Amino acid sequence: MTNHWIDIKNSDCILIMGSNAAENHPVSFKYVTKAMEKGASLISVDPRFTRTSSKADIYAPLRSGTDIAFLGGMIKYILDNNLYNKEYTAEYTNASFIVNKDYHFKEGLFSGYQKGEGGTDLGKYDKSKWAFEMDENGVPKKDKSLEHPRCVFRLLKDHFERYTLETVSKITGTSKEDLLRVYKTYSATGTAGQAGTIMYAMGWTQHTVGTQNIRTMAIIQLLLGNMGVAGGGVNALRGESNVQGSTDHCLLWHIWPGYLKTPRASNNSLDAYNKKWTPQSSDPLSANWWQNYPKYSVSMLKSFFGDKADASNQFGYNWLPKVDDDKVYSWFDIFDEMYKENIKGFFAWGQNPACSGSNASKVREAMANLDWMVNVNLFDNETGSFWKGPDMDPSQIKTEVFMLPASAFVEKEGSITNSGRWMQWRYQGPKPLGNSRPDGEIIMELGERLKNQYMNGGVFPEPIVNLKWDYHTNGVYDPHKVAKEINGYFTKNVTVNGKSFKKGTLVPSFANLQDDGSTSSGNWLYCNSYTENGNMAARRSKKDAPNKIGLYPEFAWCWPVNRRIIYNRASVDPKGQPWDKKQWVIRFAGKEEGGKWTSKKWEGDVPDGGWYPLENPDGTRRDDSKHPFIMRKHGFAQIFGPGRADGPFPEHYEPLECPIDENYLNDQKVNPTAAVYSSKADSWASCDPRYPFVGTTYRVSEHWQTGLMTRPQPWLMEMQPQMFVEMSEELAELRGINNGERVKVSSARASLEATAIVTKRFKPFNIGDGVVHQVGIPWHYGWRWPESGKEESANLLTPPSGDPNTRIPETKAFMVNVEKL
């Protein structure tokens, strides 16, 4: 979330699309309700009439997988009716940038497309065709009048010209009246002082166009001036208690802690690595915050290897693994390689891939190719016990499995980070149950044993032997020691910006980190979380900030540097005064003399950099200011996004499996760069009469994820005991299915049993010239619980395709059949 949970109450219009917050983030709805009590409108857009829809002022149904068409129509509406915030768009976004002549969009393809060799390789883009025109100083050329025919604003207008109400309605199945109501209500937040927010979740990410779904909304938020303001932002409702923290610490193949890049094989030295990933800007008004990259990478290496890392060995840079430049090592690829017998050892630590992975039968089959697996969890699960699951013959499966009992969260101490980026400390209540152990202790113990082994030799022992591993107190894992390491220490007596710091003291914030080895920091984003003033995550003050918008700056801690609303420099006009005078986030309160600012002072939230505003009160420009989007190279938010794999603008493409043969917006049916897998276990079927209905997955309040932490509980199981499939009355009649009957749901991959819920919550869609039915299934079940073994995972049905930027699977739109058993 760019904003945070409490901030939702400050919104004037809340769009919930790609999520069902009332059901899946129930307590968040407290703040939706508060906003509505103050007059805010709630819009729910969902294929199904959900618990969220039932509270909404406007409900608009859409077919799964058509969000870009829906939102693209909103972009066109905003531009056609001049509803955008002109000053914000021209000053803070790259709408004014001039794009190179090489850029074009024809027949559904952007310039630079290279068709693949077939099979899984659909194709890719040469992104150099999407570059900006630069002036003689290497700064992007701009036309702030937004008139230049090749400025981003004009190209945006041209691009979405095709997204008429008729065409959008034909694709989404949403009526033109509903589209107009949503567009009109949400676009009203383009007025300065009005804020609109979006609450989305996996309903947007799990598509072959997932990244571009979110980009489309980000473009809307920028045009309307909704980024950085209270009650605005782009807010991903994350589904796991610490999925924000585990992402920040980068348990992901492509990034190192703090969103640094995993080194590519071509980055053959630390210098080459830092040079490659440190952006350069020639604009003196661009903060280009990532210019500090080497300070963060070197400090991180110091945390990895401590005293063993110094300038003479490139701080241990070559001890860490490098990935091949053009290869992807994502979730899909892990199980694809495992299926092809190229992976021998596997850790499944606090995760249940046998039920959570798309095309889960392939995942289960792949695990039988392993030599060994370590499964760490609270409960026995479908992953650890895969060898005795359905269709498995244990006597044929060689995999050795170690199942280790982890302690529950209340049995240990440490922090987690919520969706609003708040890092919160948890304390130990009871001791670990039975012989279970906290994950931290298991990790430390395993590390100790590996280190001991490599002391006596082995292949390339340096990284293991030299790994700093002193996070014990009296022989027991100590989370405070790790939390301090993540924050970082001064490793020498140093003076930074005129201030002296002693060796061994904690670094107060990332502005003090250095690239010469004099500081450590396991994750620069968390530098400031545990300082000489104590553990910031454990704070409990209920005192609000002076702007009284619910920031609670001394309750817990949030990254970066406790800034509660990021991009907040965009919440003020170029003179530093808030667009919204009542619910302001920050405001410039320096002294003014003769029409000029003469002293620097910001009030409210921690500003995104404390520089002077862009303009003086008399309207003259200052040369000591910075553009507000400080994490972007040029300082501007990106309406034109030339870094994406599938195009600088979003474009509607049908899901890999879809019910219609034609894309009504362009000549490409599916995303021409989608990630698709093609082993024997990866079948798919589009526009195939055997699988005529659109399928989607979702969650219920009473269960969580694969259900492993809810299915073994009698209360919750009593409330939601069975796998079910929701369908319209019309579809039920078509198939002769009665409410409550067991039915078979199948896709090109597999089939499973479910209880039919025949409901008015689903309605058939009018798509093109025909009628399309959609059904929905929860993904919380698996054969291990309940004991009957008949309630199986929805992911047995989901497809082997994903987003080309992220490789997140397309589990929200695929094709199924439903029949009576």
For 603, the 3-state DSSP assignment is strand
Q: Which two tokens stand for residue 580?
A: 């919204």
The rounded distance, in Å, linking the Cα atoms of 527 and 562 is 10
Q: Report the nearest approach of another protein to the CB of residue 236 (Å).
A: 9
- Is 454 near another protein (CB under 8 A)? yes
Q: Which long-range contacts (C-beta less than 8 Å, at least 24 apart) are formed by 439-447?
A: 439/349, 439/350, 439/376, 439/406, 439/407, 439/412, 440/412, 440/414, 440/471, 440/477, 440/479, 440/482, 441/476, 441/477, 442/376, 442/404, 442/406, 443/477, 444/469, 444/471, 444/472, 444/477
- Is 786 near another protein (CB under 8 A)? no
Q: Residue 25: phi, psi to the nearest 5?
A: -135, 60
- Is 141 near another protein (CB under 8 A)? no
Q: Which two tokens stand for residue 690?
A: 């055997």
The rounded distance, in Å, linking the Cα atoms of 506 and 489 is 4
Q: Report the nearest approach of another protein to the CB of residue 72 (Å).
A: 26
- Is 139 near another protein (CB under 8 A)? no
* Closer Cβ to another protein, 123 or 786, answer by number: 786
- The window from 57-65, 87-95, 522-530, 627-635 that contacts another protein (CB under 8 A) reads 522-530
- The window from 125-133, 262-270, 608-616, 729-737 that contacts another protein (CB under 8 A) reads 262-270
Q: Which two tokens stand for residue 561?
A: 């540097």
The rounded distance, in Å, linking the Cα atoms of 236 and 4 is 10
- Is 552 near another protein (CB under 8 A)? yes
Residues of span 560-619 touching another protein by CB under 8 A: none
Among 123, 350, 721, 764, interactor with another protein by CB under 8 A: 350
- The window from 118-126, 253-261, 291-299, 680-688 that contacts another protein (CB under 8 A) reads 253-261
- Is 89 near another protein (CB under 8 A)? no
- Is 788 near another protein (CB under 8 A)? no
CB under 8 Å to 82, separation ≥6 — which residues?
none
* Closer Cβ to another protein, 66 or 523, answer by number: 523
Among 434, 498, 689, 736, interactor with another protein by CB under 8 A: 434
Residues of span 284-313 touching another protein by CB under 8 A: 304
Specify which residues 782 forms β-bridges with: 785
- Is 428 near another protein (CB under 8 A)? yes
Q: Which of 480, 502, 475, 479 is nearest to 491 (CA)?
A: 502
Contact by Cβ (8 Å): 354, 386: yes
Q: Report the nearest approach of another protein to the CB of residue 433 (Å).
A: 6
* Closer Cβ to another protein, 101 or 449, answer by number: 449
- The window from 134-142, 339-347, 627-635, 651-659 that contacts another protein (CB under 8 A) reads 339-347
Among 246, 278, 535, 683, interactor with another protein by CB under 8 A: 246
- Is 81 near another protein (CB under 8 A)? no
Among 129, 170, 249, 563, interactor with another protein by CB under 8 A: 249
Q: Which two tokens stand for residue 183?
A: 């567009």
Per-residue HEC secondary structure of 644-707 comes to CCCCCCCCCCECCCCCCCCCCCCCCCECCCCEECCCCCCCCCCCCCCCCEEEEEECCCCCCCCC
Q: Residue 219: phi, psi to the nearest 5?
A: -65, -45
Among 155, 223, 334, 572, interactor with another protein by CB under 8 A: 334
- Is 486 near another protein (CB under 8 A)? yes
- Is 18 near another protein (CB under 8 A)? no
- The window from 147-155, 166-174, 443-451, 569-577 that contacts another protein (CB under 8 A) reads 443-451
Residues of span 352-371 touching another protein by CB under 8 A: 353, 356-358, 371
- The window from 40-48, 213-221, 414-422, 619-627 that contacts another protein (CB under 8 A) reads 414-422
CB under 8 Å to 789, separation ≥6 — which residues?
390, 783
* Closer Cβ to another protein, 26 or 740, answer by number: 26
- Is 337 near another protein (CB under 8 A)? yes
Among 214, 237, 585, 681, interactor with another protein by CB under 8 A: 237
* Whole-number Cα distances in Å, 781 to 21, 142, 382, 707, 722: 21, 54, 10, 6, 8
Q: Report the nearest approach of another protein to the CB of residue 394 (Å).
A: 5
Among 82, 137, 312, 395, interactor with another protein by CB under 8 A: 395
- Is 396 near another protein (CB under 8 A)? yes
Specify which residues 43 forms β-bridges with: 15, 58
- The window from 76-84, 111-119, 244-252, 513-521 that contacts another protein (CB under 8 A) reads 244-252
Q: Which two tokens stand for residue 200?
A: 């989305």
Q: Residue 695: phi, psi to the nearest 5?
A: -115, 150
Q: Torsion-angle region of residue 268: left (phi > 0), alpha (psi -120 to 50) or beta?
A: alpha
Cα-only R_g, the chain: 27
- Is 527 near another protein (CB under 8 A)? no
The rounded distance, in Å, linking the Cα atoms of 133 and 155 is 14
For 223, the 3-state DSSP assignment is helix
- The window from 19-27, 116-124, 652-660, 812-820 that contacts another protein (CB under 8 A) reads 19-27
- Is 56 near another protein (CB under 8 A)? no
For 721, the 3-state DSSP assignment is coil
* Closer Cβ to another protein, 402 or 739, answer by number: 402
DSSP state of 233: S
- Is 276 near another protein (CB under 8 A)? no
Among 138, 284, 345, 390, interactor with another protein by CB under 8 A: 345
Among 291, 313, 318, 722, interactor with another protein by CB under 8 A: 318
- The window from 207-215, 224-232, 445-453, 495-503 that contacts another protein (CB under 8 A) reads 445-453
- Is 273 near another protein (CB under 8 A)? no
The rounded distance, in Å, linking the Cα atoms of 649 and 651 is 6
CB under 8 Å to 594, separation ≥6 — which residues?
618
Q: Which of 750, 781, 766 is nearest to 168 (CA)?
A: 766
Q: Report the nearest approach of another protein to the CB of residue 722 (Å).
A: 17
Among 403, 494, 734, 772, interactor with another protein by CB under 8 A: 403
- The window from 141-149, 702-710, 724-732, 742-750 that contacts another protein (CB under 8 A) reads 702-710
* Closer Cβ to another protein, 194 or 706, answer by number: 706
Q: Which of 476, 454, 357, 473 is nearest to 407 (CA)?
A: 476
- Is 389 near another protein (CB under 8 A)? no
- Is 181 near another protein (CB under 8 A)? no
